[in-house]
């Protein structure tokens, strides 16, 4: 619906104009102003899509009406509808911003003129909107801290935004620049390499990491998107690209990786030291206490023979002998916990089987052990056997402490180049959060040991069903780093 403002002091003429438009089926709402005041007030207040104005009015003339309309409603078309308008005046009116003029005795021309004017006004509005949008987009592209370039269908870089020019050191140099490997234009050919264009043409876009090169030959790592823009027939019109400099990101990534590697090495070193220390303490306890206790035990036996006729002293001696036997057992237990000799004597898998039996004895939790007859101890370094044994001990201890399990299934085997250790319990099941909590230090240490050996670990729990810890370690590459014992 068109809102038309008509400035006309003659009611009959006003009616004629209204009827002429209605007869031609112009959908409109018309408000009529017959004085200067009414006209100015309507211009200020109402929605006005088009203005029709008489030329000669008492106390107010067409020029003034036109001037006010141009000031207040610059977008609304303005058509003079006049009984008396010479050709010269009409031309002057058009020059001053009127859209058209119609003589009252030719009112048949009015409706087509109104339609044309409205269409043109709409087109102008749309054009203005598009121009505004283009201006805004251009400003965004020109000020963005990312690199933006456009390549035409003849493979020439036709646009490079200021950030792109800065990154590549191109200055205000005129474009287009060839990308077909012309000498001196490597910077341009790097932006749109053939492979990126091929993928973009095929799939619409290429997204990835790449390296641009500046005019001076400096390499710049970027994360890049190349987009192929096609016309309606599917032919490529041009390619655009957006690149983000990831140099500092890359540097921090490298620094982070280095520091993680250092931390891992430090953790490995600390583990080694811990194992060495345990081995030393275990040796000392074994040698010092073991020998002394055996000597005491022998001494007690000697005394026993000589005190056969003193029953009270004999009973005391027997008590002491029992105590010494218990202490010898305790020392053996401590020594084997610190550094299971069985690990060195029988190898990893046998040590695991022994540990499982011990576990069953101590906790009452049944242990089903399934072990590959082929023991890998000779294939791998000592650090790996100790690490795996400690991993196994941690899973057993966890099962006893947290799982409320009644049964434990242990599986050890060598599959191809990999050693597999699986421990499953039938307890309450570890939660996902507990399994990945950085404060679960037992599990963190376990994972750290596996990572140091280049292996993989999965810790999964099912509520009420149990927990499964599966460790896989490659055998090759773990022969080195022997641990002193
Ligand atoms: N087999 C299991 N069944 C159920 N929950 C478990 C099991 N193993 C571990 N959890 C849960 O995961 C948590 C973290 O285990 P983690 O071994 O890291 O720590 P911890 O055993 O409590 O202490 P420690 O540092 O002495 O090992 C445990 O506190 C427990 O809640
Ligand atoms: Mg634990």
All residues at 6 or more sequence positions from 305 whose CB lies less than 8 Å from its CB, including other chains: none
Those residues of the chain that have pLDDT short of 50 are 480-485
- Kindly list the domain boundaries of the chain, sorted by start residue: 2-132, 145-245, 270-339, 342-485
Ligand 1 atom nearest 403 alpha carbon: 3
* CATH superfamily assigned to domain 2-132: Response regulator (3.40.50.2300)
- For 278: left if phi > 0, alpha if psi spans -120 to 50, otherwise beta; the answer is alpha
- Spacing of C-alpha 289 from chain mean position: 59
* Cα-based torsion angle of the residue sequence 169, 171, 175, 180 in order, rounded to the nearest 10 degrees: -20
Ligand 1 atom nearest 401 alpha carbon: 21
- The beta strand positions in 188-318, using DSSP E, are 205-213, 219-230, 236-245
Looking only at the bridges linking them, the beta strands covering 366-371 and 407-415 are parallel
How confident is the model at residue 51, as a pLDDT? 96
* Spatial contact of 434 and 451, defined as CB atoms under 8 Å apart: no
Ligand 1 atom nearest 434 alpha carbon: 12
Residue nearest to atom 14 of ligand 1 (CA): 440
pTM: 0.56
Name the residue of 396, 407, 434, 463 to mutate for ligand 1: max ligand atoms within 8 A of Cβ: 434
How confident is the model at residue 324, as a pLDDT? 92
Residue nearest to atom 17 of ligand 1 (CA): 442
* Spatial contact of 35 and 9, defined as CB atoms under 8 Å apart: yes
Q: How many angstroms is it from 467 CA to the middle of ligand 2? A: 13
Fold of 145-245: Beta-Lactamase (3.30.450)
| Residues 415-427 pLDDT 10s | 888 999 999 999 9
Residue nearest to atom 24 of ligand 1 (CA): 442
How confident is the model at residue 372, as a pLDDT? 85
Ligand 1 atom nearest 439 alpha carbon: 18
Q: Which residue's structure tokens are 């003034």?
A: 64
Fold of 342-485: Heat Shock Protein 90 (3.30.565)
How confident is the model at residue 482, as a pLDDT? 42
Q: How many angstroms is it from 419 CA to the middle of ligand 1? A: 24
Q: Is the Cα dihedral 136, 138, 143, 149 positive or negative?
A: positive
Residues 328-358: b if buried by 16+ CB within 10 A, e if exposed:
beebbeebbebbbebbeeeebbebbbbbbeb
Q: How many angstroms is it from 354 CA to the middle of ligand 1? A: 23
How confident is the model at residue 478, as a pLDDT? 67
Structure tokens at 196: 């990126």
Structure tokens at 344: 């060195």
Q: Please enumerate, as own/partner, the contacts of 373-380 that have beta carbons within 8 Å and a separation of 24 or more.
A: 374/414, 375/347, 375/348, 375/349, 375/350, 376/347, 376/348, 376/349, 376/414, 376/419, 376/475, 377/347, 377/348, 377/349, 378/347, 379/475, 379/479, 380/419, 380/475, 380/478, 380/479
* Spatial contact of 237 and 153, defined as CB atoms under 8 Å apart: yes
Neighbours of ion ligand 2 (CB under 5 A): 398, 442
Half-sphere exposure of residue 466, counting CA atoms within 13 Å on the CB side?
14
Q: How many angstroms is it from 440 CA to the middle of ligand 1? A: 7
3-state SS assignment for residue 280: helix
Name which of 81, 4, 109 is nearest 47 in CA terms.
4
């Amino acid at each position: 619906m068109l809102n038309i403002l008509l400035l006309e002091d003659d009611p009959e003429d006003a009616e004629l104009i209204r009827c002429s438009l209605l007869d031609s089926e112009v959908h409109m709402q018309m408000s009529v102003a017959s004085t200067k005041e009414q006209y100015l007030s309507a211009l200020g207040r109402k929605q006005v899509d088009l203005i029709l104005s008489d030329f000669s009015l008492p106390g107010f003339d067409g020029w003034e009406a036109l001037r006010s309309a141009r000031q207040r409603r610059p977008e609304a078309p303005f058509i003079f509808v006049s009984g008396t308008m010479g050709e010269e005046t009409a031309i002057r009116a058009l020059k001053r911003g009127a859209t058209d003029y119609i003589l009252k005795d030719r009112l048949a021309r009015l409706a087509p003129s109104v339609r044309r004017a409205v269409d043109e006004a709409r087109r102008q509005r749309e054009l203005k909107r598009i121009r505004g949008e283009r201006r805004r987009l251009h400003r965004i592209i020109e000020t963005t801290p990312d690199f933006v370039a456009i390549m035409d269908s003849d493979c020439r870089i036709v646009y490079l935004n200021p950030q792109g020019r800065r990154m590549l050191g191109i200055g205000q140099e005129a474009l287009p620049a060839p990308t077909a490997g012309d000498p001196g234009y490597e910077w341009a050919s790097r932006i749109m390499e053939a492979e990126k264009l091929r993928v973009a043409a095929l799939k619409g876009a290429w997204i990835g990491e790449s390296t641009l090169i500046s005019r001076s030959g400096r390499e710049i790592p970027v994360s890049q998107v190349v987009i192929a823009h096609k016309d309606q027939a599917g032919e490529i019109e041009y390619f655009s690209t957006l690149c983000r400099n990831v140099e500092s990101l890359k540097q921090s990534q490298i620094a982070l990786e280095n520091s993680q590697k250092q931390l891992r090495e430090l953790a490995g070193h600390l583990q080694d030291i811990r194992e060495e220390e345990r081995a030393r303490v275990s040796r000392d306890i074994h040698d010092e206490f073991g020998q002394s206790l055996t000597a005491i035990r022998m001494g007690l036996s000697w005394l026993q023979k000589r005190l056969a006729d003193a029953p009270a002293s004999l009973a005391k001696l027997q008590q002491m002998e029992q105590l010494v036997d218990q202490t010898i057992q305790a020392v053996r237990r401590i020594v084997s916990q610190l550094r299971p000799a069985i690990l060195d004597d029988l190898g990893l898998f046998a040590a695991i089987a022994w540990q499982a039996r011990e576990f069953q004895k101590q906790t009452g939790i049944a242990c089903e052990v399934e072990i590959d007859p082929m023991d890998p101890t000779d294939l791998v370094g000592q650090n790996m056997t100790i690490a795996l044994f400690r991993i196994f001990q941690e899973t057993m201890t966890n099962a006893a402490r947290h799982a409320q399990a009644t049964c434990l299934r242990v599986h050890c085997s060598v599959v191809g180049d990999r050693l597999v250790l699986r421990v499953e319990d039938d307890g309450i099941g570890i939660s996902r959060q507990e399994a990945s909590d950085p404060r679960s230090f037992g599990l963190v240490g376990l994972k750290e040991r596996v990572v140091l050996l280049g292996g993989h670990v999965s810790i999964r729990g099912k509520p009420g069903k149990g927990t499964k810890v599966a460790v896989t370690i490659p055998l090759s590459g773990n022969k080195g780093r022997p641990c002193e014992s």
